[in-house]
Amino acid sequence: MVVGLVVVALVAKWLAGAGAVKNAKSGRPPAAVAVASVDLADVPVIVSAIGTVTPIDTATVRTTIAGNVFSVLFKEGQHVGEGQMIAQIDPRPYRLTLAQAEGTLARDVAQLNAAKIDLKRYETLAGQDSVAGQQVDTQRATVGQLAGTVAADRAAVGTARLNLAYTAVKAPFAGRIGLKQVSVGNYATPSDANGIAIVTRIDPIDVVFSVPQGQLASIQRQTGSGAGLPVTALDQDGKTEIAKGSFSTFDNQIDTTTGTVKAKAHFANPNGAKAGGLFPNQFVNVRMLVDTLRNVPVVPVSALRHGAPGDFVFVVQADKTVKLVVVKPGPSDGTRTAILSGLTRGAIVVSEGADGLDDGSKVRLPGGGKDGPASSSGAKHGHKSQAAAQ
């Protein structure tokens, strides 16, 4: 690590000498630049991704019994409540089956009652030694057989009632119902692939997105500490906020082809059935706030340069020359970049016009800069200033 820092310092020193000699020989005038002061600020650490809106529950509602569709009781796209009847299968055949099962039960119950009375009579006569014991045993077996028949009849009645109830096709949960797949008069069966319609739960709803595996540990640390990670869903352009939610969970494995892991965020979606809400299978831009860096040096995004030494900025010196300083950049909010090492508060960096600069180059500051870098109003307030046209 020490050797690396020494090498970087030597390279920067060499570049400073080379740049100064190059400028002196070429006679190039000082470059007009814009500058900004290094300030301390809180910088959010945000994970951005493209997510897919995924319903918590989706069900293809099928009929449990076969029959002709008697009526369709919903409008396509409407919100339905849990248990709401959405279609009716012709109930008449099932009513008749129930009546037949109830009649059979009544008949067998009457036979069982008669057999019990006969058994009691035979047991009394057997006590008086008036009938053979075998006849009593036969009658007792008959009672048991009829009791089993009655139990089977009661089960048949229950099945018939259940089938009759199944003629009313109901929504399994509250949600938005899709386009109807059958019409009145169609013969529907439980094996129909399309069913009656599809019901989707839209409030609450989830968004699934992928996170690079390198950010997995930091997110797990935050969730493990009990901190709720806020997640924002934005429209396809990434400009309009649609909903706010919270991180829910990770998948149980990393995708080796992409080096990412799927994550899920949970959103309340009361406007799901209206314009402006999250819609199932919609693509959205996801931004998850993982952490916030407190009081770190920040520079404009345009001030950060990339080259052979690595990431660097040009720091303006008192003699109106620039010094190449290698830095370690952190997260960015789109306009500012956090600097984790290499800069301190109050340093003046070149924010615009650095394309033609070398280490040691002379620069011309905004407004003439008679008193050095600190005389720039942009430097005093930490804002970019446009180069003075001369």
Close Cβ partners of 173 (under 8 Å, ≥ 6 residues apart): 57, 59, 82, 199, 201
140 and 192 share one domain: no
Q: Which of 110, 140, 166 corresponds to the end of one domain?
A: 166
| Domain harbouring 271, CATH code | 2.40.30.170
User: What are the structure tokens assigned to 301, written together?
Assistant: 């995004």
pLDDT 10s digits, 204-254: 999 999 988 888 888 888 776 555 788 999 988 888 888 899 898 888 899
- 75 and 97 both lie in a single domain: no
Residue 266: which of 223, 206, 211, 220 has the closest Cα?
A: 206
Q: At what angle do helices 133-165 and 92-127 cross, to 10 degrees?
A: 160
In a domain, 352, yes or no: yes
By residue range, what is the domain housing residue 77? 57-86+173-200
Q: Is residue 262 part of a domain?
A: yes
pLDDT for 224 equals 66
Do residue 80 and residue 190 come from a single domain? yes
> Do residues 252 and 376 both lie within one domain?
no
Residues 239 and 308 reside in one and the same domain: no
Q: Are residues 212 and 260 in the same domain?
A: yes
Secondary structure of residue 284 in the 3-state scheme? strand
The Cα–Cα gap between 327 and 310 comes to 8
What strand order describes the sheet that includes 168-170?
168-170, 85-89, 67-72, 187-188
Is 214 domain-assigned? Answer: yes
Instruction: Look at the chain and report how many structural domains it folds into.
Output: 4
At 121, which CATH number? 1.10.287
The encoded tokens of residue 364 equal 């011309």
Q: What is the CATH number of the domain that holds 189?
A: 2.40.50.100
Last residue of a domain, one of 166, 189, 217: 166
Q: For position 331, which CATH number holds?
A: 2.40.420.20
HSE-up of residue 380 (Cα within 13 Å, Cβ side): 8
Given this model, what pLDDT does residue 11 score? 47
Residues 375, 302 share a domain: yes
372 domain residue, yes or no: yes
Question: Is 76 found in the same domain as 139?
Answer: no
Do 33 and 305 form a contact (C-beta atoms < 8 A)?
Answer: no
| 389 three-state secondary structure | coil
In which residue ranges of the chain is pLDDT below 70? 1-28, 224-227, 273-275, 367-390
Q: Are residues 162 and 180 in the same domain?
A: no
DSSP 289-325: EEEEEEEEEEEEGGG-EEETTEEEEEEEPTTSBEEEE
Looking at residue 61, the DSSP 8-state letter turns out to be: E
Q: Decide: 177 and 78 in contact? Cβ < 8 Å.
A: yes
Element (H, E) at 120: helix 92-127
Say what the pLDDT of residue 75 is. Answer: 92
Question: What is the distance between the alpha carbons of residues 213 and 232, in angstroms, rounded to a whole number?
Answer: 20
Residues 82 and 194 in one domain: yes
**Is residue 82 domain-shared with residue 179, that is, in the same domain?**
yes
Q: pLDDT value at position 123?
A: 79
Q: Is 55:201 a contact under the CB 8 Å cutoff?
A: yes
- Do 121 and 153 sit in the same domain of this protein? yes
The position carrying tokens 């970087």 is: 8
Domain membership of residue 388 (yes or no) is no
Q: Which helix (H) or strand (E) holds 185?
A: none
Residue 139 in domain:
yes
d(CA 134, CA 26): 131
> Which residues make beta-bridge pairs with 263?
209, 250
Which residue from 40, 49, 79 is spatially nearest to 270, judged by alpha carbons? 79
Does 28 map to a domain?
yes
Q: Is 386 within a domain?
A: no
Q: Look up residue 388 and give its DSSP letter.
A: P
Give ∠ CA 153-159-160 in degrees, rounded to 5.
90
Q: What are the residues whose beta carbons fall under 8 Å from the beta carbon of 146, sequence distance 6 or more?
A: 108, 111, 112, 115
How far is C-alpha 250 from the chain's CA centre? 10
Please give the pLDDT value at position 386.
Answer: 35
CB contact at 8 A, 288 and 264: no
pLDDT in tens, 81-92: 999 999 999 999
Domain end (from 291, 325, 358): 291
